[in-house]
């Protein structure tokens, strides 16, 4: 009987140690999460924040030029889905065949998009836009 009493005491002491360890673990992790949240402004988010698009300027000439550009120009389509990383050519710029128009981020790799022909460029996307396969990213209007 005495042996059974000692076993019961050891079992209760072991459970107390386990509960004390769990309490300590929860207390430390709670304190660590409060400490980390103080530095949220320093640590960047997992996903980059989208930049605001430039507001569209409504003009009769630009609307007519855009409709004529899409009607008579060569569409440049995204070959794969990704994010527009940077624009290397400006809207309205004259480009030659093979000139780099923009760079896309595709699965952490930079993929350049080039002009299929020579002409005046009309860009249809902004930096940090997400595009799908086949989306029109630019139109090149032949002179």
- Top pLDDT among 117 and 54 is at 117
Q: How many domains does the chain have?
A: 2
Domain extent, residue 83, equals 60-141
Residue 138, classified by CB atoms within 10 Å of its CB into exposed (0-12), middle (13-18) or buried (19+), is buried
- Write down the pLDDT at residue 26: 86
Q: Is 23 helix (H, G, I), strand (E, B) or coil?
A: helix
pLDDT at 62: 41
> Is residue 117 one of the residues assigned to a domain?
yes
Residue 136's CATH number: 2.40.50.100
Beta strands in the chain (DSSP E): 74-77, 82-87, 94-95, 100-106, 109-114, 119-123, 130-131, 136-141
Q: Are residue 24 and residue 88 in the same domain, yes or no?
A: no
Residues 66 and 18 in one domain: no
Q: According to the model, what pLDDT value does residue 31 have?
A: 76
| Residue 65 predicted with pLDDT over 60 | no
- Quick one: pLDDT at residue 69? 44
Nearest 5°: the CA angle 58, 64, 69 is 115
Looking at the predicted structure, is the pLDDT value of residue 134 above 60? yes
Question: What is the mean predicted confidence (pLDDT) over 60-79?
Answer: 62
Closest CA to 95 of 66, 111, 117, 127: 117
74-133 pLDDT tens trace: 999 999 999 999 999 999 999 999 999 999 999 889 999 999 999 999 999 999 999 999
Q: What are 8-21's pLDDT values in tens digits?
A: 888 889 999 999 99
Q: pTM score, two decimals?
A: 0.50
Q: Are 82 and 111 in contact (CB under 8 A)?
A: yes
List, for residues 32-43, the tens digit of each pLDDT value. Answer: 777 666 666 565
């Amino acid at each position: 009987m005495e042996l059974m009493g000692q076993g019961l005491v050891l079992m209760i002491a072991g459970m107390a140690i386990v509960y004390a360890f769990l309490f300590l673990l929860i207390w430390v992790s709670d304190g660590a999460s409060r400490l980390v949240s103080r530095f949220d402004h320093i640590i960047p988010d997992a996903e980059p924040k989208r930049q605001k698009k430039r507001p569209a300027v409504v003009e009769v000439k630009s609307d007519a030029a855009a409709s004529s550009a899409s009607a008579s120009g060569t569409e440049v389509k995204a070959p794969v889905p990704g994010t527009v990383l940077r624009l290397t050519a400006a809207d309205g710029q004259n480009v030659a065949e093979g000139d780099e128009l923009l760079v896309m981020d595709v699965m952490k790799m930079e993929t350049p998009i080039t002009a299929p022909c020579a002409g005046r460029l009309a860009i249809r996307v902004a930096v940090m836009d997400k595009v799908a396969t086949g989306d029109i990213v630019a139109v090149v209007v032949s002179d």
